Structure formats: structure tokens, C-alpha cells
A and B are shown apart, each in its own frame.
Chain A
Amino acid sequence: DTGVSQDPRHKITKRGQNVTFRCDPISEHNRLYWYRQTLGQGPEFLTYFQNEAQLEKSRLLSDRFSAERPKGSFSTLEIQRTEQGDSAMYLCASSLGSGAGELFFGEGSRLTVL
């Protein structure tokens, strides 16, 4: 399977704990995106990388969120001191190059904060 993969698919944690999600993009894609989706809403942009450089980060993203993409391959999204409002589906996507290219999404990581 050469699609975008995300791990874990489901995570249940207690408020205040840290969680980390991993995304493995399609290998030849140089752009990687993180989105968050909550019930009744469309996916909300969090951040994106071109290769290893984080080029844009949503102003809505608090300092508790951090993302990395070392070596321009896989990416991690860490949420520190989780809050109940962080409960959501976290989607990763990748795309090839710049321009208007379509995004290829993973199946998402669902976070539940108790």
C-alpha cells in the first residue's frame, strides 16, 4: 500500500496528557499537511510542510501543538497537556509539488480526551 498512512488510528487519553500522531506520506510527495476535523465541520487547516520546512501554521493553533517533519519524510504532530476541546479527527495529507495539485489524505487519527 503506497498511500498516506497515519498512526495510531484511535487514541484515548486523559486530560493533561501528551499525545503524538505520526504520518507517513506518499514517498515522492514533498508537501505534507495536517488538518483537524470536528463533528459537523469541514477539515480545519493546522499546518503544512514543504520538504522539512514548516511553511505555514494556522493562527488558530495554540502553543500546545507542534509538528515536525525531520528529513522531509514522515511527520509527527504532538499535542501537549491535552484538553477536552482537542478531541477531533486529525487528518494528514500529502501532495506533489506546488500549484493546484490534489491532496491525498490518510484515514486520520481520532483523538478522544476524557
Chain B
Amino acid sequence: ILNVEQSPQSLHVQEGDSTNFTCSFPSSNFYALHWYRWETAKSPEALFVMTLNGDEKKKGRISATLNTKEGYSYLYIKGSQPEDSATYLCAPRGYGGSQGNLIFGKGTKLSVKP
């Protein structure tokens, strides 16, 4: 069983707070790491696909970093807004020799209060 850990499981912040989540995974056989945002009653939406050690990606107020040697990725949200409320999922790919599927963590559920 592949072990993808996300922490914290849930997070409650005030509007304007900055926050970050962690995704950890065993570093062997790494191919890529995906981050998705899943809002209630909507479909999961890709945020980032990261492949290289040291990768940093940014989309608006959201950014992510990747460390493939130690097996972790951080997702940062600067100045959280209520519309950022969602479950954030990470998923390594190409794990255990398979490049055909993603192995998702349980996600971090973010709630941003106005």
C-alpha cells in the first residue's frame, strides 16, 4: 500500500490569513506530483503538476514547492479568501513503477471564515 500523507486533515482560518499544507510521500520511483482543489459539489480541479526536485510553481495567491529527495511538497495560500475553502488533494504519480494512475492523499480541508 502506497503511503501518501497530508497534514493537517482540516484547517480553519480567518480571511486574510496565510496558510500552508504538507504532502509527504516515499521518495523512491517518483515521477510527478499533482495538486488538486476540490470544492464542494464541484469537480476536482488541477492546481499544479510538478516533476523536478526544487520545483516552485505559483498561480495567483497559491504556490507550491517540491522536494523529491526527501519526499514532500508544500502548498501555500497567501491572504486566504472564503472562495479558497475547499479540500486540497495531493497525488504522486509514477509510483511503484506505474505511470498510469495517481495515488491521492486524504486531503486537507480548508475553511476560510469571512
Q: Which residues of A are at the interface with B, using a C-beta cutoff of 8 A?
A: 3-4, 33, 35, 40-45, 48, 50, 55-56, 91, 93, 98, 100-108
Chain B's interface size range is 20 to 34
Contact A43 B46 (CB under 8 A): no
- How far in angstroms is the closest Cβ of chain A from B7? 13
Q: Within the assembled complex, what's the spacing in Å between the Cα atoms of A56 and B98?
A: 9
Q: Return the contact of B49 from the options A102, A105, A108 (Cβ within 8 A).
A: A102
A41, A45, A48 — most chain B CB neighbours (10 Å):
A45
Q: List the A side residues contacting B112 at CB < 8 Å.
A: none
Give A22 Cβ to nearest chain B Cβ, in Å. 16
Contact stretch, chosen from B14-22, B71-79, B99-107: B99-107
Sorted nearest first, the 8 A-B pairs with minimum C-beta distance are: A42-B104, A100-B32, A102-B46, A105-B43, A45-B101, A56-B100, A105-B44, A107-B43
Q: Which residue of B lies closest to A37 (CB)?
A: B104
How far apart are the CA atoms of A93 and B106 in the complex, in Å? 18
- Would A45 and B103 be within 8 Å (CB), given that A100-B32, A103-B34 are in contact? yes
Taking a contact as CB atoms under 8 Å apart, the answer to whether A43 and B101 are in contact is: no
Q: Given A48-B101, A56-B98, are A42 and B51 also a contact pair (CB < 8 Å)?
A: no
Closest residue on chain A to residue B44 by CB atoms: A105
Q: List 7 A-B contacts (CB under 8 A).
A: A4-B43, A42-B6, A43-B44, A48-B101, A98-B99, A100-B49, A100-B94
Residue of A nearest to B99 (CB): A98
Q: Let me know if B59 is at the binding interface, CB within 8 A.
A: no
Least CB distance from A46 to B in Å reads: 9
**Set of chain B residues within 8 Å of A101, measured between Cβ atoms:** 49
Cα(A19)–Cα(B43), bound, Å: 22
Q: Report A67 CB to chain B, min CB distance, Å.
A: 13
Interchain CB contact (< 8 A) of B100 among A43, A44, A55, A108: A55
Complex Cα distance, B99 from A50, in Å, reads 12
Measured between beta carbons, the chain B residues less than 8 angstroms from A103 are 34, 36, 44, 46, 102
Contacts A100-B49, A102-B34 given; does A42 touch B43 at CB 8 Å: no
Q: Chain A residues near B41 (CB, 8 Å)?
A: 107
